[in-house]
Amino acid sequence: MKIAVLGTGYVGLVTAAGLAEFGHAVVGADKVAAKIDAIRARRIPIYEPGLDDLLAANVRKGTLSFTTDLSGAIRAADVVFVCVGTPQGDDGSADMSQIEESSRLIAENLNGYKVVVEKSTVPVKTSVWIRRTISLYNRGGADFDVVSNPEFLREGSAVGDFLGPDRIIVGAESDRARDLMLRIYDRFRDRLLITNIDTAELIKHASNSFLALKISYINLMANVCERTDADVELVAKGMGLDPRIGPRFLKAGIGFGGSCFPKDLKALIKIGEDLGVDMGLLRETDRLNQGRVKVFLDKLRSALWILKDKKIAVLGLAFKPETDDIREAPGIRIIRALLDEGASVRLHDPKAAENMREIFPEDGARTVYCSTPYEAAEGANALLCCTEWTEYAGLDLARIKRSMANAILLDGRNLYDPDAARAAGFEYFSIGRK
């Protein structure tokens, strides 16, 4: 199968590499020449374990190439995957201008029947607009179908998710389009769910919003636990033993971030309210998540009283481990609040420091980026753990304590055993645990 992938961002790169690995002839196309040049030179613009090797292997095999000639890629393809950005506005609605631009370009280059696949996360009913746009600009009158095939890629494990998916959703409304999609995902027919397009478009938002709700729920329980003698870790374990609930996404902490959960939650709220549906449950989920940073900072204030002129070490800048993505990371709001209150920050992250520099440039005084967690802790009045990187779990806490001005540890991800932290000499604060 000849496939064009429009857009070489996070979703586009993983999709292109994965489809090439399945044996299809894939061209990744992007109008930004610098991005294509970097990819060809193996300077991958994102950190995702295994992606660099997968891209290189399929380029060597000849199943994957990259181009800035989007028109040529579309004309040569049987199927066109649209993987462009849909950034979110202040009201939660998605900016669909890149989807519209791609649709017009596809229309202008229709030289025969093609399937146009929505891979970007889009609001329900987007397919109607894609179909209308292509029809308006399809001067040659070539036949086409629109299909929804939402992505379910977790940052940090996206390659594995694509090559070994737990489910593949295909929203198609013609047998011809459905059959082409079945050929693309032939090896996963047992994991394919075929629906109409509206259903497929809604599944992605519904899935991520439910997981966000689950996280906010256990954070609500953490607040209850902190006012009792209950332990949220054991509450979550007891809940997770119920197969109707399950253990995943019951990890209390400082809240969820990233490019999916916050964006998709707000988008579904907007979609529902535009349709006249009461979305209060999801609004409360978002409110609870936004409040996690305040809860965390209140713990810090209770330990230090005044934050002005205090030196705070922050371990973990990415919104989750195994990624360099800082979008909607709780650490951003934490650092901003610390700086606003007159504190200085010493920051460390194994992968995300360079991205965070774009928001908080290093000034050598109030904002310092450190090469190791131990360097970050030197002279600090408090140490904040904001991302549960594996390397942080194995730190020598006694060594860190000796280098700090005050032995105060705030664990925003419940990464450490409370007894071990206190045995190392720390005044230890965690989430939902005494």
Q: Which residues are catalytic?
A: 260
CB atoms within 10 A of CB 73: 25
d(CA 387, CA 401): 19
State the DSSP string of 214-245. Answer: HHHHHHHHHHHHTTSS--HHHHHHHHHTSTTT
Rounded CA separation 366/376 (Å): 13
**Residue indicated by tokens 């009461």:** 278
Looking up tokens 């996690």, which residue turns up? 292
Phi/psi at 90 (5° precision): -60, -30
Alpha carbons 241 and 234: distance in angstroms, whole number: 11
Nearest to 338 by CA among 401, 410, 286, 287: 410
Question: Rounded to an integer, what distance in angstroms lies between the CA atom of residue 134 and that of residue 425?
Answer: 65
Q: How far are the Cα atoms of 161, 189, 253, 328, 339 from residue 367, in angstroms, in the given order?
A: 36, 52, 24, 20, 8
Label each residue of 123-161 as H, E or C: CCCHHHHHHHHHHHHCCCCCCEEEEECCCCCCCCCHHHH
Residue in the block written with tokens 């360097």? 375
Rounded to 5 degrees, φ, ψ at 285 are -60, -45
Structural Rg of the chain based on CA atoms: 24
DSSP 83: -
What is the distance between the alpha carbons of residues 239 and 236, in angstroms, rounded to a whole number? 5
Beta strands in 21-165 (DSSP E): 25-29, 64-67, 79-82, 114-118, 144-148
Residues in the chain, how many? 434
